[in-house]
Structure 1
Amino acid sequence: MTTSPSPDALPFWQRPATIIVAGCLICLTSFGVRSSFGLFTAPISDAHGWPREVFGLALALQNLLWGVAQPFAGAAADRFGTARVLAVGALIYATGVALIPYSDTPGLFYLSAGMLSGIGIATASFAIVMTAFSRRMPPERRSWAFGIATSASSLGQFVFAPLGQAFIAAYGWQTAMLLLAVLLLFCLPLTMALRGSASDSTNADDASDPEVTLGGALAWALRYRSYVLLVFGFFVCGFQLAFITIHMPPYLTESGIGAGVAAGAIAIVGLANVAGSYISGILGGRLSKRYLLSAIYFGRAAAITVFLLVPLSTVSVFGFAVVMGLLWLSTVPPTAGLVALMFGTRYMGMLYGIVFFSHQVGSFLGVWLGGVLYDRMGNYDAVWWLSVALGLFATLVHLPIREARAPGAVRDSATA
């Protein structure tokens, strides 16, 4: 049986440590910029005299296009290499963000903040970075690597929430957006460390993956009930996270909580999730991934319920931010780990992209319904309680998942 080459025998730019550092910096920047968009809700809406639904629909389109493009971006990374996909994505993403200050009609705003930014995020996101990680890490270390990538994304939320607020306060929202676009361009040189496609995997465990066509791999996955349940479950994650990211800042400020506290809450969510995602990555390599996911979703439902029932204050906001932060992207390592366990890594980019598409459909509905129901009802209460109900649904839907190689796969004894 062949073995993976020793890390010391590889060129510096191909060593696992270099790949992880570069990938994490890309995750930090791309996700950090995206997580700061909620801070621009009121400034952009007020500047143009738009109802909240316009901003909500643009961000909903962004999330939907992110999801639609993700499987295609993953398939492109599987075939042409992650570095090329990430570089193109960073350019598209930066272009979309840079055009936002010049989008003075809803149609142009939907194009820049919605379509271009969404496609850019899909092709420069942690999903593509994790695809590179999955091919360079042995199976027993994949969940840990996925946790590292997710933690870096969360650290970006912690860094960019106060940074975005500081940019807005110091220079106005237009210049703040341009500065964020410039920061995205720093991802371009980092992409070189993540070169390689599915055929370049250094994982001996993946060397015997079958030569399956792209369509065949997708059909194989969609016939597997456990994969379909995973797709449904990740929908809930997207709904909850997108709604809270975009609509919690205005919800808090309109409830009498200062804008600084609102920005601080988003930052705390990101900081707490650095720990939560890393811990989830470790636990995903040691415990049942399906039970871990059920526990995370139940914890979210309980946290939102308590948040809604206790009096709103700075203490309750920060407490909620800490708890939700620990559970925020902690779903990603076990979810990605289950995809790799079921199907291996040859089509990891595409198959995880399909799961992530479901996540982004949920994101679209979370952002869009938040804006629509706010405009019609004058508050966010209905969407908060819907988030609780969906959390309970996700708790149950993960329990029947089989943690095993999908029928028809080779090397059924392999682990991920």
Structure 2
Amino acid sequence: MTTTAPLYLPHAYRLYEPGFAQDPHAYYTHMRAHFGDVAPIEISPGVFGHLVIGYRLALQLLRDTQTWSKDPTVWVSHLPKDSPVLGMLGPRPNPLFADGERHARYRRVITDSFGRIQPHHLRDLVREIAALLIGRFAGAGIADLIAQYARPIPSYVMNRLFGQPDHAAPRLVTALAGLIEGGENAAAANAEFEAYMRRLLALKTGERGHDLTSWIMDHSAGLSPEEVLHHVVLTVGAGQEPTTNLIANALAIMLSDDRYYAGVTNGALAPIHAVHRVLRDEPPMANYAAHYPRHNVRINNLSIPAHSLVMVSFAAANADPQGPGAPLSGEGSHLAWSAGPHACPVKDPAILIAVTAIEEITSRLPDLELDGRREDLQRRIGPFHTAYRHIPATFTPLTALPTTGDRAWPGNPFRTSSTPPDAISPQKPPACAPSAPPCA
């Protein structure tokens, strides 16, 4: 395998600066005007690459496995061992960083394991956790919808799915937030994340259960312990921050656009419409899908050396004037779930979690309002995501949560008896809500 010197781009767009986080589409517009479909970027100080921002070029790249590889081994060999981007882009033995038959083998583990989760069990699990979390702040009349709701929900859900007790869930929040932001704390966050995963695997090695961890460990693909670790790392990482941002970004839209929120509260417009708008306009993972050319390539007027970093901007591609121009409810024409052999294999569970979480909070707190203007909300800095720091909201304080449906089914295998509801909330409100719409 040949190697390539680190790519130096003196006029790259810095995706780690506050200006990019606050108004990324201004950057994409400037990139398009000056470079066309692909532009030079810097994702961390001294770490350069290219960003594909054209819809058709992105689709072509994502489907072309002959020209492009997902293996970053050569590229990362030129990075410092403590580079903050290694947590997100460093090689791991899981489907995100593999090609060909190796990728197909890894991907089967993920799809088969998630395929064993019944949608109604997952929906009931989200309802139960949402009710417990809402119960913690329902009496205050004010909440940060990210810190107190959108971020905890995926961590508690993933803990349950992987067979962990609720009290272990908060460890994920800080670690994953630091990992995805790619800042100076990213290396420590990555180490904590992997340490958490190793503790989980040690527990499940001695005691199998009806959970994702056990199913991955016992899959017919025969993963090694290291491969099992990194499949769990991928699943938890992909399930936490992107789902947090999907819930939060959709709530921000709904609370600032009367067409959405009034429609949800009166039953005329389902939350899934807001979710699809987020996927098209503010995808939770805005810039990712790292690829590496197998040989030197030339796109437009840019020469891209072999094995150098090329990422896809799902956000910019979706906004490309030459793209498909998806309508409000048109899911299929955006790239938020990527495309080609590496398209997200579990988008349906992600949508189900987000839609159910939004249904729960809008039905239980029907006068929920944004405390301020959406355009004044601060974004989290980072090259990969579209995320708010905080979403302050107000509502009429409640002394007891309203019930909106039947209790969660007692047969749900992901309900834990070892950790009582008190681990999340002492109020123990009933887990109930109307049925979520089918996943797209």
The verdict on a shared fold, with TM-score over 0.5 as the criterion, is no
More strand by share: 2
* TM-score normalised over the length of structure 2: 0.25
More helix by share: 1
